[in-house]
Amino acid sequence: MTLKVYNTLSGKKEEFETIEPGEVRMYVCGPTVYDSCHIGHARSVVFFDVVYRLLLSMGYRVTYIRNFTDVDDKIIKRANELGVTSEAISEKYIAEFYRDMDALNVKRATLEPRATHHIDDIIGIINVLIDKNMAYPVDGDVYFRVTAFEGYGKLSGRKLEDMEAGARIEVDERKENPFDFALWKSAKPGEPFWESPWGQGRPGWHIECSAMSWQLLGESFDIHGGGKDLIFPHHENEIAQSEAAFGKSFVRYWLHNGFVNINSEKMSKSLGNTTLIKDILDVYHPEAVRLFLMSNHYRSPIDFTEQSMKESSGNLDKLYALLLRVSDTYGNLPIIRLNSNNKARSGPVWKDFFAAMEDDFNTAKGLAVMFDAVRKTNRLLDDVTGETAFETKIQVEVLTTDIVKIANILGILSEIPMEYFERKQKDALESSAVDPEKIQKLIDERTAARKSKDFASADRIRKELEDMRVAIEDRPEGTIWKMMD
RNA sequence: GGCGGCUUGGCCAAGUGGUAAGGCGACGGCCUGCAAAGCCGUUAUUCUCCAGUUCAAAUCUGGAAGCCGCCUCCA
Q: List chain B nucleotides near protein: any atom < 7 Å from a Cβ.
A: 1-6, 11-15, 21-25, 32-40, 68-75
**For chain A, what percent of residues have pLDDT higher than 70?**
96
d(CA A470, CA A451): 21
Separation of A384 CA and B29 C1' (Å): 21
Q: Which residue gives the smallest C-alpha to C1' distance to B1? A: A166
pLDDT, mean over chain A: 91
Q: Decide if A204 contacts A175 (C-beta within 8 A).
A: no
Instruction: Place A141 in a pLDDT band, splitting at 50, 70 and 90.
Output: very high
A194 beta carbon to strand B: under 7 Å? no
Q: What is the DSSP letter of A227?
A: E
Residues in chain A: 485
Rounded to whole angstroms, the distance from the CA of residue A354 to the C1' of nucleotide B62 is 38
Helix (H, G, I), strand (E, B) or coil at A453: coil
Q: Residue A344 above 60 pLDDT?
A: no
Q: Is the peptide bond before A192 cis (omega within 30 degrees of 0)?
A: no
- Report CA torsion sign: A468, A473, A479, A480: negative
Q: Dihedral of the CA atoms A426, A431, A437, A441 (nearest 10)?
A: -110
Strand (E) positions, A309-389? none
> Which nucleotide lies nearest residue A226, CA to C1'?
B75
Scanning every strand, the nucleotide with its C1' closest to A455's CA turns out to be B33
Q: Which long-range contacts (CB under 8 A, 24 or more apart) does A69-72 make?
A: A69/A29, A69/A30, A69/A31, A69/A32, A69/A33, A69/A115, A69/A205, A69/A208, A70/A32, A70/A33, A70/A94, A70/A114, A70/A115, A70/A116, A71/A115, A71/A116, A71/A192, A71/A202, A71/A203, A71/A208, A72/A32, A72/A34, A72/A205
Nucleotide nearest to A480 (CA to C1'): B36
Nucleotide nearest to A269 (CA to C1'): B74
Q: Which residue has the higher pLDDT, A475 or A278?
A: A278
Tell me the pLDDT tens digit for each residue of A81-137.
999 999 999 999 999 999 999 999 999 999 999 999 999 999 999 999 999 999 999
Distance, angstroms, CA A227 to C1' B62? 33
Nearest nt to the A375 alpha carbon by C1': B39
A288 CA from B23 C1′ (Å): 13
Residue A209 has pLDDT above 60, yes or no: yes
Q: How far apart are CA A71 and CA A19, in angstroms?
A: 32
Hey, is A62 helix, strand or coil?
strand
Nucleotide nearest to A365 (CA to C1'): B14
Q: What is the DSSP secondary-structure string of A159-191?
A: -HHHHHHH------TTSSSTT-EEEEEEPPTTS
Q: What share of chain A is helix, strand, coil (3-state, %, to 5)?
A: 50, 15, 30
- Give the CA A375 to C1' B27 distance in Å: 20
Question: Which residues in range 361-420 of chain A are in contact with strand B, contact meaning CB within 7 A of any of its atoms?
Answer: 362, 364-365, 367-368, 371-372, 374-375, 378-379, 381-382
Q: CB of A261 within 8 A of CB of A304? A: yes
| A295 CA to B67 C1' distance (Å) | 21
CATH of A4-132+145-169+206-266, one of 3.40.50.2300, 3.40.50.620, 3.30.70.580, 3.40.50.720: 3.40.50.620
How far: A458 CA to B33 C1' (Å)? 10
Task: Using alpha carbons, select from A366, A375, A225 the residue that is nearest to residue A294.
Answer: A366
Interface confidence, given as ipTM, is 0.94
Q: Return the closest nucleotide (C1') to the Cα of A32.
A: B74
Determine whether the distance from the CB of A154 to the nearest atom of strand B is below 7 Å: no
> Domain A284-417 carries which CATH code?
1.10.730
Q: What is the rounded distance in angstroms from the CA atom of residue A246 to the CA atom of residue A220?
A: 9
Nearest Cα neighbor of A67 from A39, A30, A98 is A30
Distance of alpha carbon A129 from alpha carbon A197, whole angstroms: 13
Contacting residues for A209 by C-beta, under 8 A, at least 6 apart: A27, A29, A67, A234, A238
Question: What is the arithmetic mean of pLDDT over A161-169?
Answer: 61
- Among A94, A121, A109, which Cα is nearest to A208's? A121
* Closest alpha carbon to C1' of B33, residue: A455
Chain A 266-325, CB < 7 Å to strand B? 266-268, 295-297, 300-303, 307-308, 311, 314-315, 318, 321
C-alpha distance from residue A129 to each of A124, A213, A243, A249, A452 (Å): 9, 16, 10, 16, 88
Integer Cα distance of A309 and A293 in angstroms = 10
Model confidence over A54-65: pLDDT tens digits? Answer: 999 999 999 999
Distance from first CA to last CA of chain A, Å, rounded?
A: 42
Predicted confidence band of residue A168 (pLDDT cuts 50, 70, 90): low
Per residue in A359-396, pLDDT tens?
A: 999 999 999 999 999 999 999 999 887 777 888 988 99
Write down the domain spans for chain A: 4-132+145-169+206-266, 284-417, 434-483
Is nucleic acid strand B under 7 Å from A31's C-beta? yes
Nearest nucleotide, C1' to the C-alpha of A227? B75
Comparing A416 with A389, the larger pLDDT belongs to A416
| pLDDT of amino acid A343 | 62
* Nucleic strand B contact set for A 448-467 (CB, < 7 Å): 450, 455, 458-459, 462
pLDDT at A166 over 60: no
How sure is the predictor about A207, in pLDDT bands with cuts at 50, 70 and 90?
very high
pLDDT of residue A60: 96
